[in-house]
Amino acid sequence: MRIVGPEPTSGADVGECLVVFADGGPEALAPAGHTLLDAARIAGVALPHACLGNCACLSCCVEVVSGGGFLSRMEQPERDRLDTAPGLPRGARLACQALVRPGRVVVRRLEQPVREW
Ligand code: FES
């Protein structure tokens, strides 16, 4: 199932990213500049986001399976937050912090959601 999201809010990085949720999950076209968490909402994937997208928890953590080059670079606050949870997969990202660029990204929800709260 492919679902198209809202129009981009900024013209800086125009285009869409096809975000595919691995293992038979849905796909979503997310406007560039939106987060993976936005893409999950567009796709109807119930991705937890306990801190409401403020990089203050780990509940939105996903594994990027492929297409990581179509995501924004990881900033220090995200890196610091991920460092608080040893054992995460190599491609772990916080869905609320990773912005999509035009392209195709495959992500996987973590089977054991990270709980720190
Ligand atoms: S929702 Fe809390 S870090 Fe993403």
Domains of the chain: 2-109 (3.10.20.30)
- pLDDT, position 10: 47
Residue 10 Cα to ligand 1 middle (Å): 23
Q: Report the pocket of ligand 1 as residue ranges, CB < 6 Å.
A: 49-51, 53, 55-57, 59-60, 94, 96
- pLDDT, position 14: 82
- pLDDT, position 13: 66
Ligand 1 atom at minimum distance from 95 CA: 4
Q: Which residue, judged by its Cα, is nearest atom 3 of ligand 1?
A: 55
Cα–chain center distance at 90: 15
Best CA proximity match to 61, nearest among 82, 79, 43, 75: 82
Please state the pTM of the whole predicted model. Answer: 0.86
pLDDT digits (tens, 9 = 90+) for 48-104: 999 999 999 999 999 999 999 999 999 999 999 999 998 999 999 999 999 999 999
The type of residue at 107 is V
